Structure 1
Amino acid sequence: MSPWTAVLGLIALLAVGVLAIYLVSLLLSPREVLDARPFLSGHDPREHALSRFHVRWYAVTLVFLAFDMEMVFMYPWALVAAEVGAVALVEMFAFLGLLMVGVVYAWREGALRWS
Protein backbone atom coordinates (compact mmCIF):
# COMPACT_ATOMS: atom_id res chain seq x y z
CA MET A 1 0.00 0.00 0.00
CA SER A 2 1.28 3.44 -0.90
CA PRO A 3 1.73 5.99 1.93
CA TRP A 4 -0.59 8.36 0.09
CA THR A 5 -3.29 5.69 -0.01
CA ALA A 6 -3.09 5.40 3.76
CA VAL A 7 -3.33 9.18 4.18
CA LEU A 8 -6.30 9.43 1.83
CA GLY A 9 -7.95 6.50 3.62
CA LEU A 10 -7.49 8.25 6.95
CA ILE A 11 -8.95 11.48 5.59
CA ALA A 12 -11.93 9.56 4.17
CA LEU A 13 -12.42 7.80 7.51
CA LEU A 14 -12.35 11.13 9.36
CA ALA A 15 -14.84 12.65 6.90
CA VAL A 16 -17.21 9.71 7.41
CA GLY A 17 -16.86 10.11 11.19
CA VAL A 18 -17.63 13.83 11.07
CA LEU A 19 -20.65 13.27 8.82
CA ALA A 20 -21.90 10.48 11.11
CA ILE A 21 -21.68 12.70 14.19
CA TYR A 22 -23.44 15.51 12.34
CA LEU A 23 -26.26 13.21 11.20
CA VAL A 24 -26.71 11.76 14.70
CA SER A 25 -26.97 15.25 16.15
CA LEU A 26 -29.57 16.18 13.52
CA LEU A 27 -31.62 13.07 14.27
CA LEU A 28 -31.47 13.35 18.08
CA SER A 29 -31.79 17.11 18.54
CA PRO A 30 -35.16 18.46 19.72
CA ARG A 31 -37.32 20.08 17.05
CA GLU A 32 -39.42 22.41 19.21
CA VAL A 33 -38.02 25.71 20.43
CA LEU A 34 -37.34 25.55 24.13
CA ASP A 35 -37.43 28.46 26.56
CA ALA A 36 -33.78 29.24 25.97
CA ARG A 37 -31.91 31.42 28.41
CA PRO A 38 -28.62 33.06 27.51
CA PHE A 39 -26.70 31.59 30.43
CA LEU A 40 -26.29 28.08 31.77
CA SER A 41 -27.63 29.27 35.11
CA GLY A 42 -30.99 30.02 33.47
CA HIS A 43 -31.06 33.61 34.70
CA ASP A 44 -31.57 36.62 32.48
CA PRO A 45 -28.57 38.97 32.17
CA ARG A 46 -28.52 41.95 34.52
CA GLU A 47 -26.80 44.32 32.13
CA HIS A 48 -26.08 44.65 28.44
CA ALA A 49 -23.29 42.60 26.91
CA LEU A 50 -21.55 45.74 25.62
CA SER A 51 -21.58 47.54 28.97
CA ARG A 52 -18.35 49.17 30.07
CA PHE A 53 -16.06 47.72 32.67
CA HIS A 54 -14.14 49.74 35.20
CA VAL A 55 -10.48 50.22 34.36
CA ARG A 56 -9.59 48.50 37.64
CA TRP A 57 -10.49 45.13 36.07
CA TYR A 58 -7.93 45.70 33.33
CA ALA A 59 -5.27 46.67 35.86
CA VAL A 60 -5.91 43.49 37.85
CA THR A 61 -5.70 41.49 34.63
CA LEU A 62 -2.33 43.01 33.76
CA VAL A 63 -0.95 42.30 37.23
CA PHE A 64 -2.21 38.71 36.95
CA LEU A 65 -0.51 38.33 33.57
CA ALA A 66 2.76 39.55 35.07
CA PHE A 67 2.63 36.85 37.74
CA ASP A 68 1.48 34.29 35.19
CA MET A 69 4.47 35.04 32.98
CA GLU A 70 6.66 34.68 36.05
CA MET A 71 5.45 31.12 36.48
CA VAL A 72 5.92 30.37 32.77
CA PHE A 73 9.57 31.38 33.01
CA MET A 74 10.24 29.80 36.41
CA TYR A 75 9.20 26.27 35.44
CA PRO A 76 11.89 25.70 32.78
CA TRP A 77 14.40 27.44 35.04
CA ALA A 78 13.61 24.98 37.82
CA LEU A 79 14.30 22.09 35.46
CA VAL A 80 17.83 23.25 34.56
CA ALA A 81 18.85 25.15 37.71
CA ALA A 82 20.87 22.27 39.15
CA GLU A 83 22.79 21.77 35.90
CA VAL A 84 23.61 25.44 35.31
CA GLY A 85 24.58 26.21 38.89
CA ALA A 86 24.95 29.57 40.62
CA VAL A 87 24.55 31.54 37.39
CA ALA A 88 20.95 30.32 37.09
CA LEU A 89 20.25 31.36 40.66
CA VAL A 90 21.60 34.88 40.09
CA GLU A 91 19.63 35.23 36.84
CA MET A 92 16.40 34.12 38.50
CA PHE A 93 16.84 36.58 41.35
CA ALA A 94 17.47 39.34 38.79
CA PHE A 95 14.26 38.33 37.01
CA LEU A 96 12.29 38.23 40.26
CA GLY A 97 13.75 41.59 41.23
CA LEU A 98 12.53 43.09 37.97
CA LEU A 99 9.07 41.66 38.55
CA MET A 100 9.12 42.99 42.11
CA VAL A 101 9.84 46.47 40.77
CA GLY A 102 6.68 46.12 38.66
CA VAL A 103 4.64 44.96 41.64
CA VAL A 104 5.91 47.82 43.83
CA TYR A 105 5.08 50.28 41.04
CA ALA A 106 1.55 48.85 40.71
CA TRP A 107 1.15 49.00 44.49
CA ARG A 108 2.31 52.63 44.69
CA GLU A 109 0.00 53.62 41.82
CA GLY A 110 -2.96 52.02 43.61
CA ALA A 111 -3.60 49.26 41.07
CA LEU A 112 -3.91 46.71 43.87
CA ARG A 113 -6.30 48.85 45.93
CA TRP A 114 -9.93 47.88 45.34
CA SER A 115 -11.76 50.69 47.13
Structure 2
Amino acid sequence: MAPWAAVLGLVALLAVGVLAIYLVSLVISPRGTLGTGPFLSGTRPQEHALSRYHVRWYAVTLVFLAFDMEMVFMYPWALVVAEVGPVAVVEMFIFLGLLMVGVVYAWREGAFRWS
Protein backbone atom coordinates (compact mmCIF):
# COMPACT_ATOMS: atom_id res chain seq x y z
CA MET A 1 0.00 0.00 0.00
CA ALA A 2 2.97 2.31 0.53
CA PRO A 3 3.65 2.89 -3.20
CA TRP A 4 0.07 4.03 -3.67
CA ALA A 5 0.04 6.36 -0.65
CA ALA A 6 1.27 9.31 -2.72
CA VAL A 7 -1.35 8.68 -5.42
CA LEU A 8 -4.14 8.35 -2.88
CA GLY A 9 -2.96 11.49 -1.11
CA LEU A 10 -2.97 13.39 -4.39
CA VAL A 11 -6.48 12.15 -5.23
CA ALA A 12 -7.68 13.17 -1.76
CA LEU A 13 -6.07 16.60 -2.13
CA LEU A 14 -7.70 16.99 -5.54
CA ALA A 15 -11.12 16.04 -4.13
CA VAL A 16 -10.75 18.55 -1.30
CA GLY A 17 -9.75 21.26 -3.79
CA VAL A 18 -12.72 20.56 -6.05
CA LEU A 19 -15.12 20.58 -3.12
CA ALA A 20 -13.62 23.82 -1.80
CA ILE A 21 -14.01 25.55 -5.16
CA TYR A 22 -17.59 24.27 -5.45
CA LEU A 23 -18.49 25.50 -1.96
CA VAL A 24 -16.91 28.92 -2.57
CA SER A 25 -18.91 29.30 -5.78
CA LEU A 26 -22.11 28.39 -3.93
CA VAL A 27 -21.40 30.99 -1.25
CA ILE A 28 -20.47 33.93 -3.50
CA SER A 29 -22.80 33.33 -6.46
CA PRO A 30 -25.85 35.60 -6.80
CA ARG A 31 -29.23 34.05 -6.05
CA GLY A 32 -32.42 34.28 -8.06
CA THR A 33 -30.99 36.08 -11.10
CA LEU A 34 -30.45 33.07 -13.32
CA GLY A 35 -32.61 33.39 -16.41
CA THR A 36 -33.79 36.94 -15.68
CA GLY A 37 -30.55 38.89 -15.92
CA PRO A 38 -28.53 39.96 -18.92
CA PHE A 39 -26.47 37.48 -20.88
CA LEU A 40 -22.66 37.40 -21.01
CA SER A 41 -22.37 40.55 -23.12
CA GLY A 42 -24.47 42.61 -20.72
CA THR A 43 -27.56 42.79 -22.93
CA ARG A 44 -30.63 40.62 -23.09
CA PRO A 45 -30.59 37.88 -25.75
CA GLN A 46 -32.38 38.80 -28.98
CA GLU A 47 -33.28 35.25 -29.95
CA HIS A 48 -33.88 31.88 -28.37
CA ALA A 49 -30.88 29.71 -27.47
CA LEU A 50 -32.10 26.88 -29.70
CA SER A 51 -32.41 29.03 -32.81
CA ARG A 52 -30.61 27.96 -35.97
CA TYR A 53 -27.27 29.35 -37.07
CA HIS A 54 -26.53 30.55 -40.57
CA VAL A 55 -24.49 28.12 -42.65
CA ARG A 56 -21.63 30.63 -43.00
CA TRP A 57 -20.69 30.04 -39.36
CA TYR A 58 -20.11 26.39 -40.13
CA ALA A 59 -17.96 27.30 -43.15
CA VAL A 60 -15.87 29.69 -41.05
CA THR A 61 -15.51 26.99 -38.40
CA LEU A 62 -14.23 24.49 -40.95
CA VAL A 63 -11.71 27.00 -42.32
CA PHE A 64 -10.56 27.74 -38.76
CA LEU A 65 -10.10 24.03 -38.12
CA ALA A 66 -8.00 23.75 -41.27
CA PHE A 67 -5.67 26.47 -40.00
CA ASP A 68 -5.70 24.98 -36.52
CA MET A 69 -4.66 21.58 -37.88
CA GLU A 70 -1.93 23.34 -39.82
CA MET A 71 -0.44 24.67 -36.61
CA VAL A 72 -0.79 21.30 -34.86
CA PHE A 73 1.24 19.61 -37.60
CA MET A 74 3.76 22.42 -38.04
CA TYR A 75 4.99 22.37 -34.44
CA PRO A 76 6.39 18.81 -34.47
CA TRP A 77 7.71 19.44 -37.98
CA ALA A 78 9.62 22.47 -36.71
CA LEU A 79 11.21 20.32 -34.02
CA VAL A 80 12.62 17.72 -36.44
CA VAL A 81 13.20 19.72 -39.64
CA ALA A 82 16.91 20.14 -38.96
CA GLU A 83 17.39 16.41 -38.44
CA VAL A 84 15.39 15.27 -41.47
CA GLY A 85 16.71 17.87 -43.88
CA PRO A 86 15.35 19.11 -47.21
CA VAL A 87 12.83 16.26 -47.49
CA ALA A 88 10.93 17.68 -44.50
CA VAL A 89 10.87 21.14 -46.09
CA VAL A 90 9.43 19.75 -49.34
CA GLU A 91 6.83 17.71 -47.46
CA MET A 92 5.75 20.77 -45.45
CA PHE A 93 5.37 22.86 -48.60
CA ILE A 94 3.22 20.09 -50.11
CA PHE A 95 1.11 20.07 -46.96
CA LEU A 96 0.76 23.86 -46.97
CA GLY A 97 -0.11 23.75 -50.67
CA LEU A 98 -2.94 21.32 -50.00
CA LEU A 99 -4.25 23.56 -47.24
CA MET A 100 -4.00 26.56 -49.56
CA VAL A 101 -6.10 24.71 -52.13
CA GLY A 102 -8.79 24.35 -49.46
CA VAL A 103 -8.60 28.04 -48.57
CA VAL A 104 -8.80 29.10 -52.22
CA TYR A 105 -11.80 26.80 -52.68
CA ALA A 106 -13.54 28.30 -49.63
CA TRP A 107 -12.74 31.79 -50.91
CA ARG A 108 -14.17 31.05 -54.36
CA GLU A 109 -17.30 29.53 -52.83
CA GLY A 110 -17.85 32.71 -50.81
CA ALA A 111 -17.18 31.39 -47.32
CA PHE A 112 -15.45 34.65 -46.39
CA ARG A 113 -18.19 37.01 -47.66
CA TRP A 114 -20.47 38.37 -44.96
CA SER A 115 -23.04 40.17 -47.06
- TM value normalised by structure 2: 0.75
Determine if the alignment matches structure 1 residue 91 to structure 2 residue 91: yes
| Displacement after TM superposition at 1:113 (Å) | 2.3
In the alignment, the residues of structure 2 paired with residue 51 and residue 32 of structure 1 have an alpha-carbon distance, to the nearest angstrom, of 27
Q: CA RMSD in A?
A: 2.8
Tell me the residue number matched to 1:69. Answer: 69
Q: How far does residue 84 in structure 1 lie from its aligned partner after superposition?
A: 0.7
1:47 match: 47
- Rounded to whole Å, the distance in 2 between the matches of 1:100 and 1:9 is 51
The aligned residue for residue 110 of structure 2 is: 110
Gapped regions of structure 1 (runs ≥ 5): none
SS in structure 2 of the partner of residue 40 of structure 1: coil
- Give the number of equivalent residue pairs: 114
Which stretches in structure 2 are left out of the alignment for 5+ residues? none
Aligned counterparts of 2:4 and 2:64: Cα–Cα separation in 1: 48
Residue identity in the other structure for 2:52: R
Which residue identity lines up with residue 84 of structure 2 in the other structure?
V
Question: Matches of 1:49 and 1:85 in 2, distance apart?
Answer: 52
Structure 1 counterpart SS, 2:95: helix
Q: Find the residue that maps to 1:96 and give its secondary structure.
A: helix
Q: List per-residue Cα deviations over 1:31-53 (Å, max 9, x = no partner).
A: 85347525234421111111111
TM-score, length-scaled by structure 1:
0.75
Amino acid paired to 2:49: A
Q: 3-state DSSP class of the match of 1:46?
A: coil
Find the counterpart in structure 2 of residue 56 from structure 1. Answer: 56
Q: Find the residue that maps to 1:113 and give its secondary structure.
A: coil
What amino acid sits opposite 1:33 in the alignment?
G
Q: Between Structure 1 and Structure 2, whose CA radius of gyration is higher? A: 1
Aligned: 1:82 with 2:82: yes
